[in-house]
């Protein structure tokens, strides 16, 4: 493998910060794009991101910080996108340089609202990027634990195993273990769907349901995920692998899960708008619930948990009433 491969990170949030931290362990230089110029100046001066994972200290000599997405894209061979899916299309609209000779990896866990596509499909359909130049970075892994250098695992998915190995190698470290897979579509849908189930877990907690019910909810969630993904992209996969079940569990149970936090607020009686205003980070599962529900109108998978979350978030149905009905549909 070539040792002079150049990487760029697109995004200024917690996942972008965690990925930049991982890359800086293995590379002498990376380009890092973020919109917030004040944050860029802060990092240059104080060596940490003031808004996300502020405990992470960077060697700023390794960072080519920029608020110009074209500069970051032009610099890199491999581009890792780590921004909320709701903002992706707006950021890509700023591009004047081509993506066609770039290798795109997504660390985004959601659906692009403008096209109702997962990120990999969005790049393929809208920007004509071949699937062998598209990859996915998924968990089970929370950025906050990367910041604390707690042992974490990443799954790197790409149709081209050589490219997957390049990314895996450059994200690996003493506390980061990586594995590769060719299930690009399945892992990305799993990363999107698990956020919906985490919202459901949070709602259940907010409504007063205990651990016994949570275990049933998660057990049904992984089976529901399997049915949905099988309808979308049928191939041989083990849904109990860490990229699917593991990612679901950490997002459903962790105190760091923004989706669980969002669901917990809804369960406690917050409106969607007030819960969003109170959170400093985007809950991807909110957008994913609508997209998954709409997509499933065509696929026809049996998805009572997705249906329940959608009805509460988008149809204004009472969470207590919806969950009481949901309990009779789970086993």
Q: What is the CA radius of gyration of the chain?
A: 19
3-class state of residue 4 by DSSP: coil
Count of alpha carbons within 13 Å of 6, Cβ hemisphere only?
A: 13
Residue 38, annotated as binding a ligand:
no
Alpha helices per DSSP H over 208-302: 211-232, 247-253, 258-267, 272-278, 284-299
Contact 139, 284 (CB under 8 A): no
Residue 259, annotated as binding a ligand:
yes
> Of 253, 245, 259, which is closest to residue 267 (Cα–Cα)?
259
First to last CA, the chain: 49
Beta bridge partners of 81: 10, 106
Whose structure tokens read 């230089």?
Answer: 29
SS3 letters across 63-106: EEEECCHHHHHHHCCEEEECCCHHHHHHHHCCCCCCCCCCEEEE
Contact 70, 94 (CB under 8 A): yes
Residues shown for the chain: 331
Could you confirm whether 94 is annotated as catalytic? no
Q: Would you say the C-alpha torsion 24, 91, 132, 246 has a positive or negative sign?
A: positive
Catalytic residue, from 21, 102, 163, 194: name it. Answer: 194
The string over 106-132, giving b where at least 16 C-beta atoms fall within 10 Å of a residue's C-beta and e elsewhere, is: bbbbbbbbeeebbbbbbbbeeeebeee
Residue 258, annotated as binding a ligand:
yes
Alpha helices per DSSP H over 128-159: 143-147
Residues comprising the binding site for substrate?
109, 258-259
Catalytic residue ranges:
194
What residue numbers does the annotated binding site cover?
Answer: 87, 109, 143, 258-259
């Amino acid at each position: 493998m070539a040792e002079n491969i150049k990487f760029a990170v697109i995004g200024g949030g917690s996942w972008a910060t965690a990925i930049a931290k991982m890359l800086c362990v293995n590379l002498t230089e990376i380009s890092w794009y973020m919109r917030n110029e004040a944050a860029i100046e802060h990092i240059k001066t104080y060596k940490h991101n003031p808004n996300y994972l502020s405990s992470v200290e960077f060697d700023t000599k390794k960072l080519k910080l920029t608020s110009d997405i074209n500069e970051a894209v032009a610099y890199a061979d491999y581009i890792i996108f780590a921004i909320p899916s709701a903002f992706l299309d707006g950021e890509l609209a700023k591009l004047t340089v081509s993506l066609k000779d770039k290798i795109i990896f997504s660390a985004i866990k959601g659906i692009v609202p403008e096209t109702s596509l997962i990120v990999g499909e969005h790049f393929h359909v809208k920007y004509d990027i071949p699937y062998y130049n598209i990859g996915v970075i998924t968990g089970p892994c929370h950025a906050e634990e990367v910041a604390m250098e707690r042992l974490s695992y990443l799954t790197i998915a790409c149709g081209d195993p050589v490219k997957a190995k390049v990314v895996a190698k450059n994200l690996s470290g003493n506390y980061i273990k990586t594995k590769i897979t060719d299930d690009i579509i399945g892992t990305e849908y799993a990363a999107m769907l698990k956020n919906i189930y985490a919202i459901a877990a949070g709602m259940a907690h907010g409504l007063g349901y205990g651990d016994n019910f949570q275990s049933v909810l998660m057990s049904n969630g992984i089976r529901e995920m399997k049915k949905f993904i099988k309808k979308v992209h049928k191939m041989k996969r083990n849904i109990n692998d860490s990229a699917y079940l593991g990612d679901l569990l950490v997002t459903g149970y962790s105190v760091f899960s923004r989706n669980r936090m969002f669901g917990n607020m809804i369960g406690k009686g917050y409106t969607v708008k007030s819960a969003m205003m109170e959170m400093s980070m985007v809950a991807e599962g909110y957008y994913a619930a609508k997209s998954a529900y709409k997509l499933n109108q065509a696929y026809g998978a049996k998805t009572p948990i997705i249906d329940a979350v959608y009805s509460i978030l988008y149809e204004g149905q009472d969470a207590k009433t919806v969950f009481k009905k949901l309990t009779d549909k789970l086993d």
